[in-house]
Amino acid sequence: MRTIIGAGLLAVLPGTAFAQGQLNLYCSATIEWCQPIARGFERETGIRVTLTQRSTGEMLAAIRSEARNPRGDIWWGGTGDPHVAAGEDGLTQPFESPRIAELHEWAQAQWRQTQGRTVGVYASVLGFGFNTELLARRNLPAPACWADLLDPAYRGEIQMANPNSSGTAYIVIATLVQMMGEDPAFDYLKRLHGSINAYPRSGTAPITAVARGETAVSISFVHNAAEERAAGFPVGHAVPCEGTGYEIGSMSILRGARNLPAAQRFYDWALSAPAQLVASQEARKLQTMANRGVPLTDGAPNMATARIIDYDNARFGASAERRRLLSRWDREVGALPR
């Protein structure tokens, strides 16, 4: 999906004269979150924002294609691995915000590991979403462990996004490789393939399908399931009993940014507690926000209570490793008949 909001979200802001400069914002969160972030920055600064929204995999491909003539200034949101890959490829540039010290350690660690090229802005745990009404109607148990998904009873009942376009699905692969070892992880994915009814492009599409009753189970970030439940849909979620990985939603300034001062100002603003409260108040998002001053929203999954692996962001965010694992998935899993 690509959504472009041109000519600024707010050309003239209450209490300001005219917009003070412009910013080309690339966003890989959902449009329901991208828009409030862009509006909030415009209200705060008077800087005009042009917003482009794509999934992380699609955005990384676009940034690579624009490398000689960058069109974006800053990339906000989406799973961290593509941000790390972009930094390794020289597509982003280092920046040190005075707000780094306000962040949780996992966000600071990502900034240090990438030599300041990307920083965490939110985090969430990988798990399962499921439609409680569909499970009851089909007399299926709610999955609680990775092993449960291989039960033949779930055949044709599960959705997982396509890892070539979805950062969420790539984290599934990287998580299983780290937990099981590479060959056993791909054996698992090949066995799981028989129960997958679709590999949509977007990481949020499977949980949306669960909420609408189009599939019984999704492999998703659990905050997405919690958000669907909060919206009134019959959705439950579980964190796998064996352990799981997590995402760090990230932010990076693009190399060659035409509006660098505006990009740096957005970076500082987006790390502040007031800006991150936009997630819980206006966008109604249930991730753990990077600024330690932002409390968990009611209903948000608590990362502190989940069994989380020591996810190797440096290794699995590296471009060569990402390409290698995706190529293997294409050959051994994606090419299989269903």
Do residues 265 and 248 make contact, with C-beta atoms less than 8 angstroms apart? no
pLDDT tens digits for range 107-126: 999 999 999 999 999 999 99
Strand, coil or helix: 12:
coil
119 plus 262 within the same structural domain: yes
Residue 8 lies in a domain: yes
pLDDT tens digits for range 237-290: 999 999 999 989 999 999 999 999 999 999 999 999 999 988 667 777 888 899
What backbone phi and psi angles, to 5 degrees, belong to 123? Answer: -145, 155
Residue 313 lies in a domain: no
189 plus 328 within the same structural domain: yes
> CA-CA distance, 240 to 309, in Å (whole number)?
11
Nearest to 3 by CA among 31, 38, 40: 31
140 plus 100 within the same structural domain: no
pLDDT tens digits for range 168-192: 999 999 999 999 999 999 999 999 9
84 plus 39 within the same structural domain: yes
Do residues 254 and 93 make contact, with C-beta atoms less than 8 angstroms apart? yes
60 plus 42 within the same structural domain: yes
137 plus 276 within the same structural domain: no
Give the total number of structural domains in the chain.
Answer: 2
30 plus 73 within the same structural domain: yes
324 plus 230 within the same structural domain: yes
| Structural domain span for residue 201 | 125-245+319-334
> CA-CA distance, 2 to 135, in Å (whole number)?
33
Our measurement of the distance from residue 311's CA atom to the centroid of its chain's CA atoms, rounded to an integer in Å, reads 15
Give the pTM.
0.78
207 plus 258 within the same structural domain: no
| Residue 332 in this model has a pLDDT that exceeds 70 | yes
| Residue 149 in this model has a pLDDT that exceeds 70 | yes
Our measurement of the distance from residue 172's CA atom to the centroid of its chain's CA atoms, rounded to an integer in Å, reads 12
| Residue 10 in this model has a pLDDT that exceeds 80 | no
Do residues 290 and 103 make contact, with C-beta atoms less than 8 angstroms apart? yes
pLDDT tens digits for range 13-49: 333 334 479 999 999 998 988 999 999 999 999 999 9
278 plus 219 within the same structural domain: no
> For residue 156, what are the contacts with CB-CB under 8 A and spacing of at least 6?
195, 197
144 plus 257 within the same structural domain: no
Residue 208 lies in a domain: yes
CATH of the domain at 133: 3.40.190.10
